Amino acid sequence: MVDNSHNQELEDLREAARPCFQCGICASSCPVFRVAPEMNPRMSVDSIITDGQVPAEGNEWLCAYCLMCEERCPMGVSLTEILMGIRNISSKEGKAPPDFVESAEALLARGCLSPTSNRSVKKRVDLGLPDLPQPDPEHVKLIFEVTGAYEVLEANRVAVKEEAE
Amino acid sequence: MKYAFFPGCTMANRLQFAEKSVRMIVPEFGVELVDLAFTCCPEPNAVRSLSEDTWVTFAARNIALAEAENLDILTACAGCHESLTLAKHELDTKPERKEKANEILKGMGLEYKGTSSIIHVHQLLFDEIGVETISAKVVRPLPIKVVTHSGCHLLRPQKILQVDDAEVPVKLDMLCEALGMDPLEYMDKVMCCGAGVRKTDSDTSYAVLKEKMTSMVMVEPDAIVVFCPTCFITFESGQRITNRLFKTEFKLPVFYYTELLAIAMGLPDTDALLADHRVKIELPEFSDTKKEDSESIPT
Amino acid sequence: MTTRDPKDSSSESTKVEVVSTAPELRIGVFPCKCGKNIGAVVDIDSLAEYAKTLPGVVFVQVNRYTCADPGQREIEDAIKEHRLNRVIVASCSPTMHEDTFRKAVKAAGLNPYLCIMANIREHVSWVHRDDPDAATDKAKNLVAMAVARAATLEAQKEQDVPVTQAALVVGAGVAGMQAALDLADAGFKVYLVEREATIGGIMALLDKVFPQNDCSICILGPKMVDVAKHPNINLITMAEVETIAGYVGNFDVRVKQRARYVDFEKCTSCGDCVEVCPVDVPSRTDQSLTWQKAIQIPFPQAVPSSYFIDPKSCLGMDLIRCGKCIDRCEQEAIVSSDTDHYIDFEVGVIILATGFKPASPEKIPRLGWGRYPNVITSLEFERLINAAGPTEGNLVRPSDLTKPTSVAIAQCVGSRNIDTRSGCSNFCCAESVKCALLIKEHYPDTEVTIYYQDLRMHGKYFEDQYLKAREEGVKFIRGRVGEIQQYPKTKNLRVSVEDTTHNKLQLLEYDMVILSMGAEGQSGNFPLPISCTADSFYIESHPKLRPVDTSSAGVFICGGAESPKDIRDSVIQASAAAGRASIILQKGRYPIEALSARIMQDKCNRCGTCVKRCPYGAISEDGTGKFTVMGALCQACGTCAGDCPPDAIYMPNFTSEQIEAQIEIALAERPEEKIVAFACAFCSYRGSDLAGISRMQYPANARVVRSMCSGRYSTKFAQKAFELGAGAVLYSGCHLQTDCHFQTGNHWMVKREPRIRSWMKRNNIDDERFRVEWVSAGEGKKWQTIMSEMSEVTERHKKSQPKLKKPIAKPKVKSKPKAKPKSKTATKLKKTKSKSNSTKKNATTKKKTTGRK
């Protein structure tokens, strides 16, 4: 078992997870658990509470972020916040899924996730939709710089590269 | 009423006809839209997963842009709505968050104050304009049976979003009734469409969609009505993939609500909206709408 | 015997009889060696010599064991011989022997409230063993503080009030019935008030009751008849308590009884009227599963055994609108002219048995109740399986009236959920097992599955039921039901639950689902200030030792009004409440707290803060803007006085003047070294005693000022201590949340902390010199730690002293306590005068501070 107890972020998550009494309402409400038994929100929270560590299986990335568990939790535990926190920790360690990394790259490059193609521009023109004002690229860069997104991105770029090799 | 319009990346680049339908109907209710230099909201799932700070700062910048113009934001995508509203909640309830974001925004000549509110087209229509006003504008009722899907990110967390009841949503059904449609009760009405895991595990995503659509077809609807471009794409393009993966036979047309509203209100050029739908609309009610059986997939 | 009228305290101060009428102050001091306990550390002889020099002291006598018989006799003799009118025993903690010495002085004809103690054992000899000089100095100082306080002690009259020999029991469910029967059997008159048209409560609606699964109405019915027939019970149904005035022993009750429109003396319950009544309304008894008429009887065994008319659904009791029942009733029992009316009576005690209400399933929409007909609550199930219910005991699905072949039971519905009620209902596990067994008994082939989170079969015989259920083939799956969805065509139900034992999702189809409902509190609407929990159950006086008492003397609680519970526990508690109530009734008189607060009307600014502070609802405004304390309700905590802006509340024997006098004496010499520690009588002071009893050593610089409750500590006491140069000040009380003996005193005290700190900041007083601490009676060690830590603070402060210029303008230290004034009026005048002086001083300080703001 990896001792992560020194990690303040983890400790905060543990604190947030503390009221959980393992009733299973979250799991029974989870659309992903219904089709993919390896994603069990109750077990993710359990792992945080009892082992003080991020669930080893990396199941946090299977969360669909539908917030059903959070809405129904009888103890008011914010499961999505916890899963998001786990993801933030994993991301720092370069464990983000490639498609998420790609999204972040797109955001950095264009300030937008969906690719703008000639085709989609043409569609807008055909439908008589207005040209949307574009954000200042400097703003995007600044936010990436100051909020530590560059580092996270870099950690994951390396990981993606290693994976490819 | 004047709003800063926030169509979101998905709607602007992949579901232009839905955006068009929103822009078509709002002037009919005296609503004016303004376009601002927004970035991605940013998408709550991917970006927030990487860095909470990055997510909240992008959102703060977007909201600050609207605040600078003294405008409230009108969103059209459930994801954008959730992302901006949750970020606003964070910024408004945690002063240190706001301070931190404002330090960054200062460099752009912006400030997040918390003065602009964020509403979705769903709320604009149901809460601001009202079912009765909408009903009164209908010249061409659409008597079809539909199943509605409000979308996770319009429903939860209910305490913060306050769009509709998270367990028993009824407002979109009522909006559909206003257009002469028959909304059907079905199982798993508040279940996710599966879009959330598409990027990490597409097979799982379509397995979720299969569950959802199996429950939908049980009540034999004519179409699905949504209020989110991401859900739209999941249902529309996803059902073909689901059919391939799981040997199912889903063939349900999907509508973004305002498309139907535009048609029911008898607005001109609505055929252009439906031209890009990928599941053919073989309903008699739409027979005089020009059908283009286009297989072209906007990507 | 004259008793003071507790409703009017303004006249109290003039009525109080001062037993000692000696014109001058004649204080006797009795230092005790306590064998070697004190004598080996404190130089008692030197202490005695010192005591003689103190103002007002006319007699000093050292004793080896003052508490022993000879010692007590010496005190009695000295009182008589030297005409002592104040007695100070310098020995152990007042917690230990104050009562002993008060009895002794009473025997000598002196008012017991004129005797106080200086604690030189637990606070001195036991905790400063290694420093006899410092210990002796501290002992002298403590005696001087006691002498200063004694100067203005007041004689208090120990009083009691007569008790009306009758009881009010509110709510006639099984708990209220039991309490009423017990009291009535003991010979007391009982007024039993019930809101519904029949007595019996929830129990009357149940089919079988666990754990023996005997027929509910069969065991309850005879008891209901007993209630109806008991000569000592005055049963008032369809009624609610409107107002209550008065206090323990003397409650004036007004009950509003709704019109029944049927004379229950004449009604034979023949049911002819029902046949002709044209109105159908959902049946309350049958949980709206079926219909009833506007003229109705809740169930055949109802008590009183009579129909009533629901005026909301009745078309009209005249021939023009309807009047069919009047026409039909051969007994002429229908009284169309009946009206709502009031019933007034007096009682000595009150028992609240108002019960709980079943939790509302509509608050948990994910389980589909109300949308899906085949999702029913446990109470609906009780009616369906009950032979007297709408289906005559045939369990059927409401959607199609077919017999279910598979039933799921979901537990913890409405319980253990922060959005509804976070607590466990106490009965839903046993209820579920009972339901399962009943189904199996009627329909052995029906599959029954219970979904539980933690199966809590804690009661006597409960485990046997659980075993029996397993033997009958009932399935038990650990996991709480997340959602229920209805299949559109069959109206069958899909239950989603995670089997948490196997970490597997179960999506199973059932014909019917029973929601095992918890309970919701409905307490708090009663016209008496009885505190309630956040989920609307009454709060008991002490969760373990006074579980059926409330904070209001003479008011008791039992059954579901106190917390959700089953029948057996309700009955046990009801008998307990009746027992407690009968103690008061049987004695015939009830003693009143002698130290009740009084409002000094000439100083009161009519702000009403005191009303909000009082946890007992003892202070009220009389309609003219004048506030008075109802003595019988006041428990003398002093929280009102602690926050009274003009300091207009007089707390006998814990007056501001006395407390300030103690502070002044404590800080007369080398104040910068001293800790002034305020401790409440019930927790902190006992904690400090425990430190002594455990011989925990700490520095000798603390001076403890005792009061009834930490709610008494005004901000001005700390300010006064700092103005006099105190090194450090401690406000200690019972632990927050529930420990305060007076419920909320500590909460109000801690709210004053920020004000004290900002005042300190403005006056450049280091933050660390003031502390607020919670010390329980068991935390001697904590007391020691606090004392040691605060001594380090005073050390630091002392070292930094020379650097500072004069800290704050020091008011003159009064070296002599004022002599005892000649007459009562003089006492009063003098008191008022000196008070107003100090108030003025205070006001100036305040003005300054507000000015700076």
Q: What is the mean pLDDT of each run of 10 residues along chain B (299 residues)?
A: 96 96 97 96 88 95 97 97 97 96 95 97 98 97 96 96 97 98 97 94 96 98 97 97 97 97 94 89 65 41
Query: Beta-carbon neighbour count of residue B56 at 10 Å?
Result: 27
What distance in Å separates residue B168's CA from the closest CA in chain C? Answer: 7
Q: Return the SS3 of B274.
A: helix
Residue C327 has pLDDT above 80, yes or no: yes
Q: Are B227 and B175 members of one domain? A: yes
Q: What is the pLDDT along chain A (165 residues), one digit of tens a residue?
A: 444 434 788 889 999 999 999 999 999 999 999 999 999 999 999 988 888 777 777 788 999 999 999 999 999 999 999 999 989 988 998 989 998 999 999 999 989 888 778 888 999 999 999 999 999 999 999 999 999 999 999 999 887 777 776
Q: Are B110 and B141 members of one domain? A: no
Q: Which residues of A touch B39 (CB under 8 A)?
A: 107, 111-112, 135, 139-140
End-to-end distance of chain C based on CA atoms, in angstroms? 55
Residue C391 has pLDDT above 50, yes or no: yes
Residue C848 has pLDDT above 50, yes or no: no
User: How high is the pLDDT of residue C23?
Assistant: 65
**Closest to B204 in 3D by CA, of A91, A61, C481:** A61
Contact indicator for C53, C107 with CB cutoff of 8 Å: no
What tokens were used for C406?
Answer: 């598979």
> Count of residues for chain A?
165
User: How high is the pLDDT of residue C707?
Assistant: 94
Residue B297 inside a domain? The answer is: no
CA distances from C16 to A6, C111, C161, C604, C825 (A): 66, 12, 15, 21, 12
**Closest to B41 in 3D by CA, of B99, B82, B4:** B82
Residue B291 inside a domain? The answer is: no
Alpha-carbon distance of C673 to A72, in angstroms, equals 58
What tokens were used for B61?
Answer: 């910048």
Which of B120, B154, B179 delimits the end of a domain?
B120
Q: pLDDT tens for residues C747-787?
A: 999 999 999 999 999 999 999 999 999 998 889 999 999 99
Q: Are B61 and B154 members of one domain? A: no
- Say if the Cβ atoms of A149 and B298 lie within 8 Å: no
Which of B84, B99, B120 delimits the end of a domain?
B120
Residue B298 inside a domain? The answer is: no
Q: Are B109 and B219 members of one domain? A: no
Q: Are B102 and B159 members of one domain? A: no
End-to-end distance of chain A based on CA atoms, in angstroms? 28
Contact indicator for C298, C276 with CB cutoff of 8 Å: no
Residue B271 inside a domain? The answer is: yes
Residues of chain A numbered 4-23 and touching chain B (CB < 8 Å) = none
What distance in Å separates residue C498's CA from the closest CA in chain A? Answer: 5
Alpha-carbon distance of B46 to A82, in angstroms, equals 15
User: How high is the pLDDT of residue A3?
Assistant: 43
User: How high is the pLDDT of residue C361?
Assistant: 95
Residue C847 has pLDDT above 90, yes or no: no
Alpha-carbon distance of C721 to C663, in angstroms, equals 6
End-to-end distance of chain B based on CA atoms, in angstroms? 33
What distance in Å separates residue A61's CA from the closest CA in chain B? Answer: 7
List chains touching A (3+ CB pairs under 8 A): B, C
Q: pLDDT tens for residues B81-116?
A: 999 999 999 999 999 999 999 999 999 999 999 999
Range of the domain at B83: 2-120
- Say if the Cβ atoms of C486 and B187 lie within 8 Å: yes
- Say if the Cβ atoms of B104 and A142 lie within 8 Å: yes
Q: Which residues of A touch C497 (CB under 8 A)?
A: 24, 28
Q: pLDDT tens for residues C341-372?
A: 999 999 999 999 999 999 999 999 999 999 99
> Looking at the partner chain, which of A21, A25, A37 has a beta carbon nearest the beta carbon of C482?
A25
Residues of chain A numbered 62-121 and touching chain B (CB < 8 Å) = 62-68, 70-71, 84-85, 87-88, 91, 96-97, 99-101, 103-104, 107, 111-117, 119-120
- Say if the Cβ atoms of C488 and B165 lie within 8 Å: no
Q: Are B227 and B162 members of one domain? A: yes
Domain at B223, CATH number: 3.40.50.11810
**Closest to C690 in 3D by CA, of C775, C771, C773:** C775
Residue C271 has pLDDT above 80, yes or no: yes
Among A9, A34, A35, the residue to mutate for chain B (most B Cβ within 10 A): A35
- Taking phi over 0 as left and psi of -120 to 50 as alpha, with beta for the rest, A24 belongs to left
Domains of chain C with CATH codes:
166-257+351-356+521-590 (3.50.50.60), 272-339 (no CATH), 365-520 (3.50.50.60), 596-651 (3.30.70.20), 654-820 (3.40.50)
Amino acid at C67: C
The count of structural domains within chain B is: 2
Domain at B95, CATH number: 1.20.1050.140
Residue B258 inside a domain? The answer is: yes
Give exposure, C565-597, as e/b (b: 16+ Cβ within 10 Å).
bbbebbbbbbbbbbebbbebbeeeebebbbbbb
Domains of chain A with CATH codes:
8-92 (1.10.1060.10), 98-164 (no CATH)
User: How high is the pLDDT of residue C802?
Assistant: 60
Q: Are B96 and B134 members of one domain? A: no
Q: Are B158 and B266 members of one domain? A: yes
- A92 — phi, psi (to 5°)? -60, -30
Alpha-carbon distance of C43 to C36, in angstroms, equals 11
- Please name the residue of chain A whose CA is at the shortest distance from the CA of residue C364: A72
Residue B299 inside a domain? The answer is: no
Residue C844 has pLDDT above 50, yes or no: no
Q: Are B154 and B255 members of one domain? A: yes
User: How high is the pLDDT of residue A159?
Assistant: 78
Which of B73, B98, B120 delimits the end of a domain?
B120
Q: Are B100 and B27 members of one domain? A: yes
Residue B78 inside a domain? The answer is: yes
Alpha-carbon distance of B24 to B37, in angstroms, equals 21
Residue C526 has pLDDT above 90, yes or no: no
- Say if the Cβ atoms of C366 and B167 lie within 8 Å: yes
Q: Are B37 and B60 members of one domain? A: yes
Measured on CA atoms in the order C288, C293, C297, C301, is the torsion positive or negative? Answer: negative
pLDDT tier, C13 (very low <50, low <70, confident <90, very high otherwise): very low
Q: pLDDT tens for residues C189-241?
A: 999 999 999 999 999 999 999 999 999 999 999 999 999 999 999 999 999 99
Q: Are B134 and B86 members of one domain? A: no
Q: Which residues of B touch A71 (CB under 8 A)?
A: 155-158, 166-167
- Say if the Cβ atoms of C500 and A33 lie within 8 Å: no
Residue B296 inside a domain? The answer is: no
Contact indicator for B233, B224 with CB cutoff of 8 Å: no
What tokens were used for C667?
Answer: 């800080």
User: How high is the pLDDT of residue C808?
Assistant: 52
What tokens were used for C178?
Answer: 């039991």
Determine contact: B1 vs chain C, CB below 8 A: no
Contact indicator for C261, C20 with CB cutoff of 8 Å: no
